[in-house]
A and B are shown apart, each in its own frame.
Chain A
Amino acid sequence: QKEVEQNSGPLSVPEGAIASLNCTYSDRVSQSFFWYRQYSGKSPELIMSIYSNGDKEDGRFTAQLNKASQYVSLLIRDSQPSDSATYLCAVNRRNGGYNKLIFGAGTRLAVHP
C-alpha cells in the first residue's frame, strides 16, 4: 500500500462545476497535509495546507480533513479552464526527529469550457 494514494484521473469537469479531489494516507500519526498544484512542464506550488479536522476555505478552494478516516480532499468551486493541472496531495512523515513530505502520484484535472 502506498503511503499517500490518489486517483490518477483524469478527472474531467465542465467549467463552473465543483471539482472534488481525494487523497488517503496510511500513517496515522501524520499531522500536516498539503495540496500542491502542478501545471504541465512546471514545478509544484503550494495552494492549501490543513492541520485540523474539518474544512478550511481559501477563495474557491476548500480543503477537508478527516483524520479518523485518514482522508484529505480538495474542492474547487466554480472550476475554470485555468485550474486544469495535476494536483498533488502531500502528507508529513516524522522520521528520526525530522519532518519529511510524502507526495501522492497526483490527480490530473481537466476543466473543459
Chain B
Amino acid sequence: DVKVTQSSRYLVKRTGEKVFLECVQDMDHENMFWYRQDPGLGLRLIYFSYDVKMKEKGDIPEGYSVSREKKERFSLILESASTNQTSMYLCASSSWGGDEKLFFGSGTQLSVL
C-alpha cells in the first residue's frame, strides 16, 4: 500500500521557534510537494521538488524553506514561526510522466502561539 507519512499529526509551537515538518514517501516518487490548507483558501503550494537536492518556490514560499537530501524525504522548515503560519500542512508526492496524481500524507495541524 502506497504511503506518504508525515511525522506529526498535531504540533504546537511558540512564536519565533524553528519548526521542522518531515515527510517521507515509500513510492520512489520523484516529485514532492508541500501545501498549506486554510478555510476558504483551499490548498496553496509552498514549495516543491522534482529531484534530490532540487527545490522550487511555489505560490507562498515566504517564511519557509525546504530540504531534500534523499529522494524519499522532503522537509519543510519554518525558520521563525509566526502566528499566521498556523495551518494544516499537507505533503504530497507524485511520479514523473503520470497523470499528475498526487498522493497526500495525513497532514500536520500546526498551531503557533
| List of B residues within 8 angstroms of A111 by Cβ | none
Cβ–Cβ contact B105 & A88, under 8 A: no
From B42, B58, B99, B105, give the contact of A100 (CB < 8 A): B58
Give CA–CA (A12, B51) in the complex, Å.
Answer: 43
Q: Is the interface of B mostly helix, strand, loop or mixed?
A: loop
Number of A-B contacts (CB under 8 A): 48
Cβ–Cβ contact B50 & A98, under 8 A: yes
Contacts A49-B99, A100-B48 known; A44 to B43 CB distance under 8 Å? yes
Q: Is the interface of A mostly helix, strand, loop or mixed?
A: strand
Identify 25 residue pairs between A and B in the complex whose beta-carbon atoms are under 8 Å apart, listed by A's number. Answer: A4-B42, A8-B40, A32-B99, A32-B100, A34-B100, A36-B102, A43-B106, A44-B43, A44-B90, A44-B102, A44-B104, A92-B100, A98-B48, A98-B56, A99-B100, A100-B48, A100-B58, A102-B45, A103-B35, A103-B42, A103-B44, A104-B42, A105-B40, A105-B41, A105-B42
State the 4 A-B residue pairs at the shortest beta-carbon distance, nearest first: A105-B42, A43-B104, A103-B43, A103-B42
